[in-house]
Amino acid sequence: SWPERHGGRDASLWEWLIFEEEYWLAGAPQRVTQNGIFLLAPTIFAFGTPDQQDRILPRMAAAQDLWAQGWSEPGAGSDLAAISSHAERDDERGGWVLTGQKTWTTRGAFCTHLFGLFRTDPSAGRHRGLTYFLVALDTPGVTVRGFERLDGDEGFADVFFEEAFVTDENVLGAVHEGWQVAMATTGSERGLTLRSPGRFTRAAQRLVELARAGSSERQRDLVVQSWLDVRAYELFTLQQVTGIVDGTAVSAESSLNKLFWSELDVQLHETAMDLLGPEAEVDGPWSRGFLFSLGGPIYAGTNEIQRNIVAERLLGLPRK
């Protein structure tokens, strides 16, 4: 829930779910503000100073600032703790000097700001000594290089930091405690916030329409399988939101969401490609959606990592 004084609407989780459902049913597109609103904002509510909340949230809600997530690096994908971008203390200027490279930054080429982790204590262990920074992308020393995704979208970016200076008020949470601060966001990325059922309900509806135009019994069976999984995802989400509202939800459960919606999205689009037959290769909403769907099992923690989390934290299997 996003308070009105920060540019929000004070909506409950249930109201938000309903909004999402209507948003997608109306055929509305993905939002460029998505990563800011769903990943950064919850962290700012939890860890931001009043000044940060006032400065950042209303502009984010109004889409005046567009925020990109600066997690991954060339050597730190699934292994997020391997981050090597670093920040050096500059007491004189009262801030930090950032150096390093972030990559696979979704929508980085269109964004104005980036939130990311930088190593502030190189002597500390992997998960320790990281700090969470908020950086305007027009800061001197920051270069953004956009590159193309599988589906032809130019939205990915490398972001290079060459002694880029940021002041202390751009540190979110405590210095050296960026990992703990970031994990709050990772949890919401995997779970409910990133993938409301509405998007899949709409896709299933479109798939059914496609199949009505002509399909075999085998194909209709596949369509219903996807339709059923969307229905299951919707009901699972309702059950889960009840748990969140009651405060009984287990955070590792968000890995179940992520696994399910990402596999479902691929399967749903594969079924559409099957229905389209030789026309499947032609550029269009289904083929583009198919390519887009293949990113789901990779980003926001690969599904291999998610299955580890499910096995270890929900089933209690031994780590090693």
Partner 1 sequence: MRFESSDSAVALRDATRALLTAEVTPAVVRAGWPDGDLGTVRTVWRKLADSGVIGALVPEQSDGLGLDEEALVPTLERIGHSGLPLPVVETIAVAAPAMLWHARLGDVVSGDAVVAIAQPSLREESPLLAFGQDCDLALVLGEDDLRLYERSELTLEPAASIDGARRMARIVAMDGGVVLADDPAAVASAWLRGVLGTAAVLVGLSERMLDMTVEYVKQREQFGVPVGSFQAIKHALAAALLSLRFAHPPVLAAGWALATQAPDAAVQVSAAKALASEAALRIARTAIQCHGAIAYTTEYDLHLFAKRAWAMAPSWGDAAWHRRSIAAHLGL
- Tell me, what DSSP letter sits at residue 76? B
Q: Should residue 289 be labelled a site residue for partner 1 when binding is judged by CB under 8 A?
A: no
Q: Of residues 34, 99, 180, 225, which one binds partner 1 by CB under 8 A? A: 225
Nearer to a copy of itself, 219 or 303 (CB): 219
Q: Of residues 51, 218, 315, 319, which one binds a copy of itself by CB under 8 A? A: 218
CB of 216 to a copy of itself, least distance (A): 6
CB of 75 to a copy of itself, least distance (A): 18
For 300, what's the count of Cα atoms within 13 Å in the CB-facing half-sphere? 27
Q: Should residue 109 be labelled a site residue for partner 1 when binding is judged by CB under 8 A?
A: no
Q: Should residue 224 be labelled a site residue for partner 1 when binding is judged by CB under 8 A?
A: yes
CA distance 196 to 261: 9
Q: Of residues 1, 30, 64, 78, which one binds partner 1 by CB under 8 A? A: 78
Query: Which one-letter amino acid corresponds to residue 143?
Result: T
Residues 6+ apart with CB under 8 A from 73: 82, 83, 84, 85, 100, 101, 102, 103
CB of 225 to a copy of itself, least distance (A): 11
Q: Of residues 88, 183, 239, 250, which one binds partner 1 by CB under 8 A? A: 239
53 binds, options a copy of itself, partner 1, none, Cβ within 5 to 8 A by partner type: none
Query: Which one-letter amino acid corresponds to residue 197?
Result: P
CA distance 181 to 177: 7
Q: Of residues 27, 29, 50, 318, which one binds partner 1 by CB under 8 A? A: 318
User: Two tokens at 273?
Assistant: 């490609």
Question: Which range of residues in 31-39, 45-53, 160-168, 211-219 is near a copy of itself by CB under 8 A?
Answer: 211-219
CA distance 122 to 267: 43
For 122, what's the count of Cα atoms within 13 Å in the CB-facing half-sphere? 7
User: Two tokens at 56?
Assistant: 């950042």
Residues 6+ apart with CB under 8 A from 18: none
Please identify every residue annotated as catalytic. 189
Residue ranges binding a copy of itself (CB under 8 A)? 216-218, 221
